[in-house]
Each structure stands twice: as structure tokens, then as C-alpha cells.
Chain A
């Protein structure tokens, strides 16, 4: 694009390669025409948590938690206390005095857990000298307790009192947790999913492991709640398993093998190719019906109810996709290590003509794990009914480092956080302009200058 500046030495190939993804500067469907850069962090910003309609918190490797106003972009409060990077952050809403209060729970590598009041900036509670750093947090609203997962699973009440804990000797520890019905918890520990049960007897809570689900071949990176009946897990080698929440049985198994376009069908080299292509499931998100999985630098949309793939794009980004979100209107967003956020739209294919070449994905039955070795059937897109295409409708370029996460405030904007220590609020320029007009007239009225 800027080859004339760079002296035309840019490799043609790379341009051609991403040509399908290059949307250009004309993006009529991209409403984000205003940005606000928020500075405040000194290191990678990894977590964004929404507090209410107006506020969100950001945290990262500098141990700082900053509370921002999404409308003005002002940093409201700095929460200082952690000496090392923050490993998990969650909002915790509880009722006190008839009013709902939202607090923040943060976990840090310095083996502390803190409860913050985002209104006053006070560190309300603090627990230090934990045996292991906490990697994930989960709030159980119905029980009014919260869980921390590290090498062991701990259950805490609202006042930061340890209710019970499990002892695990796995080095990997718990990397993700999902709440299941009937006070069950699913926790991802390396290659296993462990089902815990919380037993309530009076005011005492006990936790015990119920079952170990060891169907994944590799480390589980992602564990999400789909709907009341299902949850999903994704592993490092591209295994996507849909589980039943109640009886913990496998509802669907997908082993997604991104493959190079089969030029000659020589399977001898396929393994090499497969290894070169990153197919780790980094992140998943769901709206209850669809799952979008970030697999390597690609995106994969799966319909849970139909148990079928909806759309996929093998190379959606120039680098690994770190976070995805499915929106209500059939659009999805993804952010990546390449520093961009991309917006996609699910579009019906005009004809069953194949898109360019084909990524390949393996499709197996519910218990088809054993058939993996048989080799995938030849790619036949028309065989998949209702396959749609994932069209790029816009991208947000601003960060100079990997975009770690984003948080949508609907029409108020979209917040992204990045390795470059910055946060950016992307806003709908037209909407903001109208808001400003209203503010102007309001001020005119206040000043009685109308």
C-alpha cells in the first residue's frame, strides 16, 4: 500500500497473501471513527473488566489497576497495592444495605488477593501469603461466594474468609473455571477437566472433586460456558469439545486441523505443514448458540445446536488471535497479536462455490476420537450445509503491540488494551458528535445563552 514510500521493495508475496484480508481504507460498515488513547499503564495491559455502564477497570503486568470513565476517557482512580503483575481480575457485585455494590477482586503474582472499592479506591480486603499465585477467579452469585484457582481451588465468602479448599499437587494448577448447574464447577487443569462439587451444609461449604474428564490430548487453554446445558473446552492442538453440563458427557468433538491447501495431496508432508501452523485454541466465546474459537491466527464459528461448523477463516489475522467476541447481530470481533482488531460479519455464500481454496477441518462424530487416525475425508465444502463466509467489514488499527483484550460498551464504544501499555476507546464518531451537540445545547441552556 505504501510501497511507493518504501521504494517498492515490499515483497509482492505478502501483499498477495493477505489480499483477501486487506479491507482497505474504505470501511462503510465500520462505525468506529473516533478514538481516544488512554495512557496510564507502564507495562502490558492484559485485563479489562466492566464495572457498570460507565466505568471499567484495566490491569496488567505493572500491578496497577486503573478505573476509567468510558465516556470521557478520564482515569478516575488508580488502585495501587500489588507489587507484581496481575494474573486475574473479576468484578464482584453484592447487595449491601439494599444497594448493589460492585467491587473488584484482583489476584497477583505476588500471591495476594485484593478486594477494591472502585468508588473510593480503597483496598477493602487483602490476603497475602497465598501458597500459590491465583490464575483464575470465579464468582458464584447464587451462593455469594467466590473461588480462586491456582494450584488449589479455594472458596471464599464475601468477607474474604476462606471457606474451604482442595489440595492438588499438579504443577499446572487450575487455568480456568466454569460454573455448572447444581453447584458444580468445572476447572481446567492441564489436559484434564475436573468437576468439583460444592457441598453446602448450613453455613459451611465443602468442596470435593467429582470427576476427571481426560479426553483432551493436550493442554486446555480455553474453557467456556455456552448455555445452561453445555460448556466447551479447547486445547492446544485444536481439539474442541462440547460437554453436557449436567452429566459431563461429550456432546461434540471437533479436531480442527488447519491445513495448507492440498496442492498435491501428498500426505507425507502434511504432518510437517500441520506442525508449522498454529492451531491452538487460544480463546473461545459464545452467545449460547454459536461458539467462536480463536485457533492460531484463524477464526472458527461453530453452531452448538446444529453441531455443525458455520464459518471459518484460516488466516483471519497476521498473528495469533487473542480474544474474540460474538455480537448479537451476527457480527464478531477478534483481536490479535498483530495489533489490530477486526470486525467480521457472517454472510451467506452466494453460491456453494468454494471460497478460494480450503482450510481443512476434521469433523467427527460424537465419539469419533478413535477415528482420528483414519485421516480426514477430502474437503468437501458443499457437504457442509449452511456454511457461511466470514467477511471482514472493518479493522481498527492503532495499537503498536498485541491487542490483548477488548471490552464493548455497546454504543458507548469499544475499549482495547494492548502490549504497548495503552488503552484505546473506539467510538462511533457520528454518535459522539450528536452527544456533543446535545451537551452544547445543554450548556447553552445552563448559561442561558440560548
Chain B
């Protein structure tokens, strides 16, 4: 049974031999390994022989009762594993000879001893199944288990061997975190259990003692009963001693082998997160938890009533073993699941993609000097990933049926609908998927599972497709699949005549194995779907245009799509960008801008008020909002011939005041322009979208883009007075009269950035264009800032030459005087940011120029 799994040797080649490095080539850490190109090889087909569609995480246990058994898969979509035999694979991975901790009575010791063993990490391949796995073994303590240990393993299963091999370090560190959560929780739970057991034992001893005394009194010391009692008492005493020793061992667990730097970071971030999960638990740090075990158990003493137990617990195999969740503290368990979800998400997709995103991240982290200018704050996006993920993991995963044969059409169908019509509120309403998924193997969960799914689907979510209960999956999977694929292909034509026909078929397909609730849910979903035309169009488009469907199976775009939908934009912005591009390109070849924009970016608001609702002051700006702004910006550039001057003002740090009577109009313009504001801030602090009181001098220092109300009231006149007074520091865009008063701009830079005859049609594309241009500009500003020779004086009295060297440098970069101001301003921001760190503290100074303003009209 236990074969010899081909454990792949983990050797890394050390290629330090090469001394020559091509100066033009990318640094080693940034190069993406090329696909080993064999003749006629389709790079995407190699996953096809695997029996699962995409990578997943498997949690298995070697149960002392039933042997190796799979517990959890992440994602918890049964279709992910496909026909892959989880039971068999569990056997394989659990049979890897890992260093089992010896627990029990070691020779020479009278008492059981706990071994705190390191987790073992191996890579395992199963060429027959086409599966490769990173396997992370760990043991959890269970008082009722044999030798007090329960072996578990976490496995990352992929069809791509290279992925496992290349990402071994990353996988290892990520899984270590998950394992550490589990073990910390387990230690805590184990200690609690011991405490309880001790109470029981002490109580038992007390009772026995009384009984012995009583029997001694009645029958004399040497009656058989008395001797029995005395033996039992002795056993209890011994047991108490053993358990006390165990408790001492577990509570004196070496506070932590803090080798893993990542883990320490994780730890520092975690408490806040966890407190959200479980408020009652006052401390979540495992080491603190270990310390608090005693105090907590003391508090529990009152609540726990000790029971009379037998001193020697018989090994009862009929006894139900504790579930994994019971073994660990609930909050730790959920945190582990969260971590596993994060792992699953971050390693999703092709190896190339992971590489690219890792490189992307590495590069961006090196750009902290300048990235604050036009990109979202890194520390928020990366440092806090777990936070983001914890939010997104509450949303139900959109089930994507990208299994062989038919994935794309249905997939994109869900995409359209989902993005268009599911309101965020609905998403958050739906419960976390983990709660229903953790007990996959329990038969009893089936009903509840289906039921919840059913209720989800009544919220017009497409969840019902994925709502096939796990147990029924194996039986009806192909059946359902087949029917669904029919549906998705047929739906375009069907939909044209009646949208009701679709759900009929779908529910037909699922009727056999599923609850009625599901069907109702599905009907509801379709009936409530408000924009059938769009859906049809999408479907029609995709089905017709993207024909050889089978060819596209396993296409990274699919996974990409999937990633985009779920994690939204929590990941790297560039990744998000690419995905959205792919997404919109593939889903809809619709030329109506609004529609494409709203499909790709907007999830909630309608097109009429979205400009207003977009910029909410005080909340963190997301990339999504910025991309949305691309569309408004594009419109602004087409509409206003002086857009270039306005953008120039923003880039050169001159506060732009948008003056208007109507709040909506003003806010729309603010939304269109805020992507050009350097150093926008995490929450867009440098933008004031709507102001109805006169602004002060300090406001000009703070805000670089202001939406200002023009009112006829006395307040209005004082606003005008402040405008007049500070006119030399501001540019004024009057959206009622369509005029702009600002300094002149000459040059080509901004005209490239904002060409009103641009061929770019879509907002997202334009946003990318802007990002590209701004990045270029930032690079120049960086160069300008950190060039020694232009800033350092030759001698002490050398101010003049520095000034001329600076000017010449910018001229050499072929910037006009005006463009030099932009670079200069960005450079000043970079300097201030570098000197002060990212903290916005201190009294910032406010730079300006004395230049004549002109009035521009349409």
C-alpha cells in the first residue's frame, strides 16, 4: 500500500561560476525562466493530463481509525479537484516517511514526553496522476489520540512540477505560517484539555479517596475491594502526575523559534486582524496564549464541573476523534484557513505569472522612493495583504467551471453578470465559504450546505452553479457538467428568444442531485437579472468569437480572469490592470464605452451617479476608482481644449480650483483630474472634491485639487475674495463658464499625456497610458533628484553654478521651462519624502512660482 513516492531531490544549482554579466541584461532575480520550448509543444496543454483543473491545497490527516483521509480542499470547490482521487493522494502524501515525533514513554523515562518536532517539508511527484505536491507535515497534540499526536499534512498540489520546485522557498515559508497558526492554537487547546482532564482526575481522586476511606472503615484495610480501590487511586495519582507533567511541558514550550523573519512580521500584523475574528479571546499571540493558558483555565474552573473518570482511559476506537477545528482554537483554525486561502490565491496561475508578479513586487518595493507619487502606497498594498485578503475571502468565490470542454463561455457569462449586477452588499451578506466547507467529509453537512447555497442563489448570485453539494459531486459531476456546457453554448440562441429558457435547462440539469431550494434559487437568479441583452451579447460574443474552445482550456487568461474576479485589486495593481484588460477584451468586444467601463470597473452604482459616488473623501482610494477616473479624464480631455494646461497645473504642483455651481459637475471634474495629482495620498488627502466655504492659505498647502462651490450668498462672495487674494497660487477652472485661468504651458509632454484627438477609446486603456507616461516622468524626476553632480556645489560659495547646472540638466532631458517645473516639483516631493520618510508629519512648505496667468476659453 505504502509505495515509494518519488520524492524529488531538492537541490539548487549554484551558478556562481559565470563572471561575465551582460550589463544590458536584467538582473538575475528579475528574469523569468523561459518556457522550455519543444517542437510543436503547446505550452498550455501539459496540465491536460492532470485530473484536476487547477492548483489546490489539500489538508489531510493520517487518522488512527481510518487511515489517511482528505479533510479540506482549498478552494473548496469540488470541481477544482475534478476526478482527482483525493483519498489516494492523501495516502500518498501521508505515507511519505517524515520524522514522526516520538511521543509516549521513551526508554528510561517513566512519563510520556512531548516532542516538539519541526515540520517536515517535502516535494512529492506522482507522474501517473500528473500531480506534484509540496507537502508540509505537522503533528497536532490530542490527549485522546494514540501517543497524543495526530499527524496532519498540508499539501499544495499542482500539475506543474516546475512551479513547485521553483516556488519551494515561498511555499515553505507561507505554509510554515499556516502550520504555525495551527500548532499555536493546538497547544492552547491541548493545554485547556489537559487542565480539564486534571480537574477530572483530581475530582476522581477525591471521590476514590473518600470511597477507600469508607471501605476501610467498613471492611478493614485488606479487603479486595479496598485493595482495588487503592490500586485505582494509585493509578489516578500516577495519571495526575503524568498529566501535570504534560501540562508543564506544553506550557513551557520554548516561546518560539523565531527564525523566520516573515513570520515575525506576520505576527506583528496579526493581532489586530484576529481581534476582529474573535473578540472574546483577549490574546492571540501563541506565545502569549501559552502564558495565558493558566489564567484562562483558572477562570474556567468555575464553569467547568469535573467528572468522575476512569484513571486509565481505554483506547476506544469507536470514539469520535476530534476534528481539526476542535483540535485548534477556533480563531486559530480560521486564521489558518485564511492563510491557506492566501497561499492558494498567491500561487494561483501559471509559473510565469507568479514570477512576473513576484518580480513586479520586488521591483516596486525598490521604488519606494518614488512610488508614492503616482501609485498607491505600497506598504498598504503589500504589507497588509493578509488584511485585504481577509476581507475578500469573506466574499463568496465566484465558481468558475473552467474544466475541460466548456469553461470560457460560462465563465465569461458569470463574469459579466457578476460584475454588473451583484451589489457589494449582497456579496458581504453571504457567509464566508469556510464555515460550510470545513466539514466536507461529514455526511450531515450536506443538507445544510445545499440549503445555504440555495439561499445564496436567491440573491441572484450565480453561486447555485457551484452549489453542488460535495458528497453528490462524484456521482453527478459529469452529468451536471455536460448539461451545463450545453446550456452555456446554447444559451445565446436561446436567450435571444426568451431568457426563461436558460434557467429551465440549468435547473433541469441539476434537478436530479440537488435540493429544490437550489432550483428556486436559480430561477430567481435568472429572473431577476436586469440586463439580459448584455449577458446575451457577451455570451454570443465569446462563444462565437473564441472558437476552438478546447484550445483555450488551461489558458492562463482563465486563471487570470479568475484571479481578477476574486481578489479584485488587492493584489499588485499591474496585475490587476492586465487582468482587467484581458477580461474586458475577452468578454466583451463592445464598443460602447460606458458599458465596457461599467462591466470592467463598476460593480455597484449606476452610470448616472457614479461620478459623484466615486470619490469618497476619507476612504482609501482603490486602483479601481483610479481606473474609473481614466474614463472621466478621457472625457475631460476630449471636452476641454485647455485640458493640457489644467493637467500641467496639477503636475507642477499648482493648486487647481474647480469652481462651479453644480456639485455633480464639479465632482465629476475632480474625479477626472485626480489621477494627475502627484502624491495623492492613500486616502486622496491632497484632493478636496467639494468645498463650500472659503479656503485658507494652509488649505493650498494641503490640497492640490479643490472643488469649490460658487454661490451667490455672502459666503460665496468671501469665497471669491479668497480666490482673488490667492490667485497667484492657484489656477481656476470655471466649469460654468468653461474657462481656465492658469499659467501658459508650452511643450509636448502634457500633449502626449492628454491629446484631445487621442485614439484611445476606453477609460482603462487611457489610465494605463497615463500611468505609463507618469512613470516615465517619475523616472526622469528620480534621475534629476539623485544626480550628484548637478546638486552638489563645487565649493562653498557655489550656489549659482548649481542653479545653472540644474537648469541645463533639465534642458538636456529636452524639457521646456514649463516641463522643468513639473520635474522640479516632483523632485522636491521625492526629496521631502525621502528625508522625512513616508510619514506626512512635520510642517510642509509650499512652493510656488511667480508667473502670469492667462485666461483660456473653449
Contacts from A to B (Cβ < 8 Å):
1-2, 4-6, 24-28, 30, 33-39, 72-74, 394, 397-400, 422, 424-425, 427, 429-434, 436-441, 443-444
Is A433 a contact partner of B701 (Cβ separation < 8 A)? no
Q: A73-B843, A422-B697, A437-B785 are contacts. A33–B791 as well, Cβ < 8 Å?
A: no
B803: A residues at CB distance < 8 A? 430, 434
* Chain A: minimal CB distance from B461 (Å): 51
Is B698 a contact partner of A35 (Cβ separation < 8 A)? no
B844: A residues at CB distance < 8 A? 36
B802 within 8 A of A: yes
Q: A2-B727, A25-B728, A433-B824 are contacts. A37–B701 as well, Cβ < 8 Å?
A: yes
Is B788 a contact partner of A2 (Cβ separation < 8 A)? no
A2: B residues at CB distance < 8 A? 720, 723-724, 727, 741
User: Which of A26, A394, A399, A422: most chain B Cβ within 10 A?
Assistant: A26
Q: A397-B725, A397-B728, A440-B834 are contacts. A28–B850 as well, Cβ < 8 Å?
A: yes
Is B732 a contact partner of A440 (Cβ separation < 8 A)? no
Contacting residue for B828 out of A25, A73, A422, A436, CB 8 A = A436
Q: How far is the CA of A401 from the CA of B22 in the complex (A)?
A: 64
* B40-92 interface with A by 8 A CB criterion: none
Q: Mark B812-828, 1 if CB is under 8 A from A, else 0.
A: 00000000000010011
Q: How far is the CA of A441 from the CA of B791 in the complex (A)?
A: 9
B10: A residues at CB distance < 8 A? none
Nearest 10 A/B pairs, CB to CB: A437-B791, A27-B850, A73-B843, A36-B845, A436-B831, A2-B724, A34-B847, A26-B852, A25-B852, A25-B728
B734: A residues at CB distance < 8 A? 5
B786 within 8 A of A: yes
Is B848 a contact partner of A33 (Cβ separation < 8 A)? yes
Q: What are 12 A-B residue pairs whose CB atoms fall within 8 Å in the complex?
A: A4-B737, A5-B723, A5-B734, A26-B852, A33-B848, A35-B697, A36-B844, A37-B698, A397-B725, A434-B803, A436-B835, A438-B791
* Chain B: minimal CB distance from A321 (Å): 19
Q: A400-B725, A422-B697 are contacts. A33–B835 as well, Cβ < 8 Å?
A: no
Tally chain B residues at the interface, Cβ within 8 Å: 47
Is B849 a contact partner of A432 (Cβ separation < 8 A)? no
Is A5 a contact partner of B720 (Cβ separation < 8 A)? yes
Q: Mark B724-767, 1 if CB is under 8 A from A, else 0.
A: 11111000101001010100000000000000000000000000
Is B835 a contact partner of A427 (Cβ separation < 8 A)? no
B792: A residues at CB distance < 8 A? 437-438, 441
Is B853 a contact partner of A25 (Cβ separation < 8 A)? yes
Q: How far is the CA of A398 from the CA of B696 in the complex (A)?
A: 9
Q: A26-B852, A434-B791 are contacts. A37–B846 as well, Cβ < 8 Å?
A: yes
* Chain B: minimal CB distance from A391 (Å): 16
Is B842 a contact partner of A400 (Cβ separation < 8 A)? no
Contacting residue for B845 out of A24, A427, A437, CB 8 A = A427
Q: A436-B835, A438-B791, A443-B834 are contacts. A1–B727 as well, Cβ < 8 Å?
A: yes
A394: B residues at CB distance < 8 A? 850
What secondary structure prevails in chain A residues at the interface with B? mixed
Is A436 a contact partner of B832 (Cβ separation < 8 A)? yes
* B677-733 interface with A by 8 A CB criterion: 696-698, 701, 720, 722-728, 732
B546 within 8 A of A: no
Q: How far is the CA of A431 from the CA of B802 in the complex (A)?
A: 10
Q: How far is the CA of A25 from the CA of B786 in the complex (A)?
A: 32
* Chain B: minimal CB distance from A420 (Å): 9
Q: Which residue of B lies closest to A2 (CB)?
A: B724
Q: How far is the CA of A34 from the CA of B700 in the complex (A)?
A: 12
Contacts from B to A (Cβ < 8 Å):
659, 696-698, 701, 720, 722-728, 732, 734, 737, 739, 741, 785-786, 788, 791-793, 799, 802-803, 824, 827-828, 831-832, 834-835, 842-853, 855
A434: B residues at CB distance < 8 A? 791, 793, 799, 802-803
Is A30 a contact partner of B831 (Cβ separation < 8 A)? no
Q: A5-B724, A72-B842, A74-B842 are contacts. A437–B831 as well, Cβ < 8 Å?
A: yes
Q: How far is the CA of A443 from the CA of B732 in the complex (A)?
A: 38
A427: B residues at CB distance < 8 A? 845
A37: B residues at CB distance < 8 A? 697-698, 701, 843, 846
A33: B residues at CB distance < 8 A? 847-850
* Chain B: minimal CB distance from A28 (Å): 7
User: Which of A24, A430, A436, A441: most chain B Cβ within 10 A?
Assistant: A436
Contacting residue for B851 out of A5, A6, A26, A433, CB 8 A = A26
Is A440 a contact partner of B786 (Cβ separation < 8 A)? yes
Is A25 a contact partner of B848 (Cβ separation < 8 A)? no
Q: How far is the CA of A437 from the CA of B789 in the complex (A)?
A: 11
Q: A1-B724, A33-B850, A394-B850 are contacts. A440–B785 as well, Cβ < 8 Å?
A: yes
Q: Which residue of A lies closest to B722 (CB)?
A: A400
Q: Which residue of A lies closest to B737 (CB)?
A: A4
Q: How far is the CA of A36 from the CA of B844 in the complex (A)?
A: 7
* Chain B: minimal CB distance from A433 (Å): 6
Q: Which residue of A lies closest to B792 (CB)?
A: A441
Q: Which residue of B lies closest to A27 (CB)?
A: B850
Q: How far is the CA of A37 from the CA of B768 in the complex (A)?
A: 37
Is B845 a contact partner of A6 (Cβ separation < 8 A)? no
* Chain B: minimal CB distance from A56 (Å): 15
Q: How far is the CA of A24 from the CA of B743 in the complex (A)?
A: 13
Is B845 a contact partner of A439 (Cβ separation < 8 A)? no
Q: How far is the CA of A1 from the CA of B659 in the complex (A)?
A: 17
Q: A1-B727, A2-B724, A434-B791 are contacts. A35–B785 as well, Cβ < 8 Å?
A: no
Q: Which residue of A lies closest to B802 (CB)?
A: A434
Q: A25-B851, A34-B846 are contacts. A441–B697 as well, Cβ < 8 Å?
A: no
B831: A residues at CB distance < 8 A? 433, 436-437, 439-440
Q: Which residue of A lies closest to B853 (CB)?
A: A25
Q: How far is the CA of A24 from the CA of B785 in the complex (A)?
A: 31
Contacting residue for A73 out of B739, B741, B799, B845, CB 8 A = B845
B852: A residues at CB distance < 8 A? 24-26
Is A35 a contact partner of B846 (Cβ separation < 8 A)? yes
A25: B residues at CB distance < 8 A? 727-728, 850-853
Q: Which residue of A lies closest to B659 (CB)?
A: A5
Is B847 a contact partner of A429 (Cβ separation < 8 A)? yes
Is A26 a contact partner of B835 (Cβ separation < 8 A)? no
Is B696 a contact partner of A6 (Cβ separation < 8 A)? no
B847: A residues at CB distance < 8 A? 33-34, 429
Q: How far is the CA of A102 from the CA of B853 in the complex (A)?
A: 46
Is B843 a contact partner of A72 (Cβ separation < 8 A)? yes
Is B845 a contact partner of A35 (Cβ separation < 8 A)? yes
* Chain A: minimal CB distance from B601 (Å): 35
Given contacts A34-B845, A73-B845, 8 further A-B contacts (CB under 8 A): A1-B724, A2-B720, A5-B734, A35-B697, A35-B848, A422-B697, A436-B832, A440-B831
B725: A residues at CB distance < 8 A? 397, 400
Q: How far is the CA of A4 from the CA of B739 in the complex (A)?
A: 10
A425: B residues at CB distance < 8 A? 845
Q: How far is the CA of A132 from the CA of B646 in the complex (A)?
A: 59
